[in-house]
Amino acid sequence: MSDCTTWPTSCLTVTIAERTWTLERIADLETLWDLMDDDDDDDHIPYWVEVWPASLALAAWFESHPESLQGQRCLDLGCGLGLTALVAASLGARVTALDHTWSAVHFARKNTILNHVTPSPLWVQMDWCRPAFQPSMFDSIWGGDILYEQRFFDPLLALFRHALAPCGRIILCSPDRTVTRPVWGRLIQEGWQVKELQPANHLLQDHKAAVRLMQLTR
């Protein structure tokens, strides 16, 4: 797919904890899927143009636990349009947010300005299979719906081990898919403590997110 950052845009809005977030994007997933070239592979499916239920649930949980973010060095994996990173930054987190796709990073930066979030997250185009972070760099790492393919598990596990600070935590939010269910048991086998958190769906005015919210610690 060609660079789409200069295409006409539209905005969608999401309300969480009585704050409305405006997110600029191009088209939607179905439209962009139809425009994909034959040479595009699975890594270039434009999932980033949608705000998925897992991201909504993460953002709502952050709003209900602001003390867990204030002053923390945080990493958002697969940031998409930037919602969870923006919510966390607005609550005092020091956020680095990455996405594999440049167009996602481009619009996430624009959404920082659109929503008047300061200081801005650090938006980075990066493949989580080949991360470029210092060891123990982050107090908190999170991802919304990033376990949708088994091939992601090993590189994500390697990133967690490398980039998470001692006493840090990881929060993963995912729909209860068949492909995801074995992940939690394997994480326990790999030495992680896995705890299920209670989603803050009461803070989502327009959506209800049927997802599992899991915390990992070592």
134-187: per-residue pLDDT in tens?
A: 999 999 999 999 998 888 999 999 999 999 999 999 999 999 888 889 999 999
Task: Tell me the torsion sign for CA atoms 7, 78, 184, 208.
Answer: negative
Q: What is the pTM of this model?
A: 0.89
The per-residue pLDDT for 166 is 97
The per-residue pLDDT for 206 is 63
CA 102 to chain centre: 15
The per-residue pLDDT for 117 is 98
Structure tokens at 27: 């088209």
The per-residue pLDDT for 27 is 65
CA dihedral 9, 10, 12, 13 (to 10 degrees): 100
Q: Measured in Å, how far apart are the chain's first and last C-alpha atoms?
A: 40
Residue 116: closest CA among 22, 24, 51, 49: 22
Low-confidence ranges of the chain (pLDDT < 50): 40-41
How far, in Å, CA of 199 to CA of 41, rounded?
33
Q: Which long-range contacts (CB under 8 A, 24 or more apart) does 194-198 make?
A: 197/61, 197/171
Domains of the chain: 10-217 (3.40.50.150)
How far, in Å, CA of 191 to CA of 186, rounded?
9
The per-residue pLDDT for 207 is 63
